[in-house]
Amino acid sequence: MKRLIVLLSAVMILVTGCSAVKLDTADIGKNIKNLLSKKVDLYNVHFDGYKYYVPKGLKFLHKEEYNASFIDKYNNKYYLYVDAIGYYHKSDLKYNVENDIHYSNLLKFNKKDGYIRIEEIDNKFYIQFVFNYAKMEAYVKEEELSTVITNMCYVLRTIKFNDAVLESLVGENVLSYKEENFTLFNTTDSKDVYLQAAEDGYVEEEKDVFEDDDFDIDIDIDEDVFDE
């Protein structure tokens, strides 16, 4: 009988739907390409004007119309910002790759643009991940970078806007905005605000948030809004 020896290197197999994606923890760019290049129609969170998917393993800490925060089993906090106004006005994304930080790259997959920047600050890594008119941020240990970026990919790649609903919200002035503020996310200002909020403990943890394995999302859902 032949004995098969399986060497476990820095490669993970993630199963999403019916497809398996190989992820190499040592190659951030390759992982992002593998995940963002796949078209996924999977949603479990619905808001007025958009919807997205939150993978198992992330739990809501806070949620409102265009912002949310999550926590994972490693106690990493994720912040999500959805720029519905930027999407509505098709604002251009402005970002220059930075060669003096841990990782920086422009992204373009399935006609959606974005960027990711990872900066080492005080022996941890601050992630800004922008894609498809949304941004996620986190401040994590090096050994958890791959897991956190993977979770971010799952959320950001599934964000889908509803043009008709956004048209109605803008027309009724439900979304407050100013013409001069359509630029998508200020990188420097956002970092300072995020790190200060993290230091001040702006988002408090929910006690025993991972006690229940069932992912219960307490959000009003209107299935008819997104009928294809």
Q: Model pTM?
A: 0.73
**Quick one: what percent of the chain has pLDDT higher than 90?**
48
Number of domains making up the chain: 1
Closest CA to 69 of 142, 174, 139, 150: 139
Q: Is the Cβ–Cβ distance between 81 and 185 less than 8 Å?
A: yes
pLDDT of the residue at 65: 83
Phi, psi of 34 (to 5 degrees): -60, -40
Local confidence band at 190 (pLDDT 50, 70, 90 cut-offs): low
128 in a structural domain: yes
139 in a structural domain: yes
Paired with 47 in beta bridges are 50
Between 148 and 25, where is the model more confident?
A: 148
6 in a structural domain: no
143 in a structural domain: yes
Q: Helices 145-156 and 28-36: crossing angle, nearest 10°? A: 20
Terminal C-alpha separation, the chain: 54
Instruction: Tell me how far the alpha carbon of residue 164 is from its chain's centroid.
Output: 24
Residues 23, 161: Cα–Cα separation, whole Å:
28
Asked whether residue 176 carries a pLDDT value surpassing 60, the answer given is no
2 in a structural domain: no
Q: Is the Cβ–Cβ distance between 36 and 184 less than 8 Å?
A: no
Tell me the chain's radius of gyration from C-alpha atoms.
18
For the chain, give the mean pLDDT: 75
Asked whether residue 28 carries a pLDDT value surpassing 70, the answer given is yes
pLDDT of the residue at 85: 87
Q: What is the pLDDT of residues 29-55, one digit of tens each?
A: 998 999 999 888 899 999 889 999 999
pLDDT of the residue at 209: 41
The DSSP secondary-structure symbol of 4 reads P
32 in a structural domain: no
Local confidence band at 170 (pLDDT 50, 70, 90 cut-offs): confident
Between 175 and 216, where is the model more confident?
A: 175
Q: Is the Cβ–Cβ distance between 47 and 65 less than 8 Å?
A: yes
126 in a structural domain: yes
Q: Show the domain range for 62.
A: 41-223
| Dihedral of alpha carbons 118, 122, 124, 127, sign | negative
Least confident of 12-21, 73-82, 86-95, 112-121: 12-21
Least confident of 139-143, 172-176, 178-182: 178-182
pLDDT of the residue at 224: 35
Residues 72, 214: Cα–Cα separation, whole Å:
14
Asked whether residue 226 carries a pLDDT value surpassing 70, the answer given is no
Q: List all residues 6 or more positions away from 181 whose beta carbon is below 8 Å from its beta carbon.
A: 85
